[in-house]
Structure 1
Amino acid sequence: MVEQSLQGHFDRTVRRNYFRGMEFAGPAGDPGWFGPDSATWHVHSHMPSLIFGLQCAAYLERLDPSIYWMGVHHSRLVEQSEDPAAPPRIDPKGLAVRLGHSIAFFIGTAYGSTDTAERLAQTVRAMHHTIKGVRPDGARYDADDPDWLRWNYATVVWGLATAHEMYHPRPLRGRKLDRYYGEFVRVGHALGGTDLPTTKADTHDCLKSYLPKLALTHGAAMATGHHLPLPESVVDWAIRDTMPTWAMQLIGHRSPNVVERTARRTGVWAVINGLGAAAGPIPEFREAQARVAGGIDPDLAPHTLPGYVLGSDPARSRAQVEHEFA
């Protein structure tokens, strides 16, 4: 009964609005970008830790001032203001929309058919092509900038992999987790990324190399701290706990002693895995498993590769993109 209730809520709030047009049950034998033996199918199979990982990635990426201002100027996460330098006010509806689209993207590219994954990547690329502007300090930003794409990719894969390592009921570690880092680079390439890290160590080094460009932005500062009410403060602590040490130092976060930290992590683990057990396996994972249960199409590899060629997207205005991919 609890599983049906949770799945029903997810159906009403996420699947109905953001999974439209996505194919998981067919065509038979299509492994998609990753396939049944991939680390990615295992990592993304636990929805609560996946969603938590997306929050970790979003927090980390906001330490880049350009990403912060991209969000303020172009995202529905915040209420738009005539003053380009005004502190943002979070729009709860916009926040829900952003999370819904993010969940759909990372489930769709993991378990969807090859065509579904390609279309999702095209959608995100098309939106990125429209995000260009100027920060209040005069610095320009461009979501197609390879340097930005590398930072953005690294924050995402770090957030998802670290949340998995800490809170998945059967986590991959060591070389097995590095398989995930190596596989997931396909998503980064499909979004236009180049020179992307492919292991946990390389991803950490990649993120740290950006430290001279990073700062405690207003958005990051307002999203953390003792002023947050319960349970937000618990989630906030758990997110900061996944960050590399140098990033914790940047935001002034100090871990408690090992006993308290272990107790906190145990509590968060219990909540995340309680939700996972109550909700049960995600239907998209089961549909993808059934899609290849009869074997992989012999004309296909164990997985397909993204077909995007850099610079091949047609030019579209933001209005065209939103109309086409609404």
Structure 2
Amino acid sequence: MAAEWQCAGDREVLVGLRARISDELKATVHGGDLKLERYEGPAGDRGLLGIAPGDPAWRVHGHPTGMLTGGFAALMLQSLHPLAMAGVQQHSDFRSDPVGRLIGTARFVTTTTFGSLPAAYEAIDLVRRIHTRVNGTAPDGRAYSAADPELLTWVHTAEVSSFLAGHQAYAPRRARLTPAECDAYYRQVAPVAEALGAEKVPGSVREVERYLDGIRPRLCATPAALDSVRFLRGFGRTGRERLVVGVLMNASVGLLPDWARTELGMHRPEAVRRCWDRPRATLVGRTLEWARGPSEILAAAQRRTASPPVDE
């Protein structure tokens, strides 16, 4: 009897722990409200990307650990463009409200990937309106605008290449994308950037590599970029949150291209990245996935895409 009570007590502790972690994760990433109405209908709507469960974009954007580590890597990589960084420094509220900024970004990615076509266009229209107000002069004297097609292409390419790197590093080996599927991923996510106003968006691994090689001479770690990375590495409202962010940030360093790590002054040995950072991030990621359970967003989107369209 005592053993049964002990087992029941252990289960109760685990259930409570899982609920606390799940609630905190939902609050931090989604603001506590998943807004499932964006994903549940209309029946048969395949969304902006025109894809379905099992397609590369769903698999990459549906893997939490890859997206968290890839997201941090994307922020660091994007900071190397002086004009993009000037826009963030002069217009973003990421310092005063970093969680709000994370929630906005997460909602945009999930809505444009898994949401219905009307929900995706609503999210894109909102971002386009915001971009019209984000313009100014960078510290080096150059004018910038968040609506600049070239800048939009940079932000998109840095983001999705980091997401893909995170997925390939942290998804189970059997779930990782083949070379052909990696090319398909870039093609599938390009419409989001194009709808925002980007032009000449890379649509394959080779095109992304060529694009990054071509833009490298224009990238550098400005004081603002280095300061933003320091802010990210120390972010956290609680000790537990700072611990998780620290683990994920260290792991994200390993996703960056060698030249980006060098530019940012991140001289973390490969052995440390491979034997210490990656296993710890994998453990943290699996814990978060266990706490979250099956994704309600993906389940709603799967029901929508699998349902026959309603005849008008």
Q: Please report the TM-score for the alignment, with normalisation by the length of structure 1.
A: 0.78
Could you tell me how far 1:281 is from its partner in structure 2? 2.1
Match of 2:76 in 1: 59
- Could you say if the C-alpha distance between residues 18 and 203 of structure 1 is closer, same or farther in structure 2, counting changes exceeding 3 Å? farther
Could you tell me how far 1:117 is from its partner in structure 2? 0.6
How far apart, in 2, do the equivalents of 1:279 and 1:19 lie? 12
Aligned with residue 64 of structure 2, among 32, 35, 47: 47
Match of 1:324 in 2: none
Are the equivalent residues in 2 in contact too, given 1:65–1:214 (CA < 8 A)?
Answer: yes
Are the equivalent residues in 1 in contact too, given 2:64–2:289 (CA < 8 A)?
Answer: yes
How far apart, in 2, do the equivalents of 1:241 and 1:64 lie? 20
- The secondary structure found in structure 2 opposite 1:210 is helix
Match of 1:182 in 2: 187
How far apart, in 1, do the equivalents of 2:21 and 2:246 lie? 24
- The secondary structure found in structure 2 opposite 1:35 is coil
Greater mean alpha carbon deviation, residues 128-137 or residues 110-119: 128-137
Is the aligned partner of 1:112 residue 2:115? yes
The one-letter code matched in structure 2 to 1:97 is G
Deviations 1:40-68 (A, max 9, x none): 11112223422322221111100111111
Are the equivalent residues in 2 in contact too, given 1:47–1:276 (CA < 8 A)?
Answer: yes
How far apart, in 1, do the equivalents of 2:229 and 2:88 lie? 17
Match of 1:87 in 2: none
How far apart, in 1, do the equivalents of 2:302 and 2:150 lie? 36
Deviations 1:77-135 (A, max 9, x none): 1xxxxxxxxxxxx32xx111110001111111111111001111111111112111012
- Could you say if the C-alpha distance between residues 44 and 9 of structure 1 is closer, same or farther in structure 2, counting changes exceeding 3 Å? same
- Could you say if the C-alpha distance between residues 117 and 47 of structure 1 is closer, same or farther in structure 2, counting changes exceeding 3 Å? same
Are the equivalent residues in 1 in contact too, given 2:136–2:145 (CA < 8 A)?
Answer: yes
Deviations 1:268-324 (A, max 9, x none): 2222122113311220100111112334x399xxxxxxxxxxxxxxxxxxxxxxxxx
Q: Please report the TM-score for the alignment, with normalisation by the length of structure 2.
A: 0.81
- Could you say if the C-alpha distance between residues 73 and 59 of structure 1 is closer, same or farther in structure 2, counting changes exceeding 3 Å? same
- Could you say if the C-alpha distance between residues 27 and 257 of structure 1 is closer, same or farther in structure 2, counting changes exceeding 3 Å? closer
Could you tell me how far 1:236 is from its partner in structure 2? 3.2
Is the aligned partner of 1:271 residue 2:271? no
Number of equivalent positions: 283
- Could you say if the C-alpha distance between residues 133 and 224 of structure 1 is closer, same or farther in structure 2, counting changes exceeding 3 Å? closer
Aligned with residue 214 of structure 1, among 196, 211, 219: 219
How far apart, in 2, do the equivalents of 1:240 and 1:289 lie? 33
Deviations 1:147-190 (A, max 9, x none): 11111111111111111111123322422222111111111111
Unaligned runs of 5+ in 1: 78-89, 300-326
Percentage of pairs with the same residue: 28
Unaligned runs of 5+ in 2: 1-14, 235-241
- The secondary structure found in structure 2 opposite 1:24 is helix
Are the equivalent residues in 2 in contact too, given 1:47–1:282 (CA < 8 A)?
Answer: no
Aligned with residue 42 of structure 2, among 4, 24, 27: 27
Aligned-residue RMSD, C-alpha: 2.6
Could you tell me how far 1:35 is from its partner in structure 2? 2.3
Could you tell me how far 1:69 is from its partner in structure 2? 1.2
Please list, as runs of the form range in 1=range in 2, the aligned pairs for 1:55-134 lying within 5 A after superposition: 55-77=72-94, 90-91=95-96, 94-134=97-137
How far apart, in 2, do the equivalents of 1:11 and 1:278 lie? 10
- Could you say if the C-alpha distance between residues 222 and 63 of structure 1 is closer, same or farther in structure 2, counting changes exceeding 3 Å? same
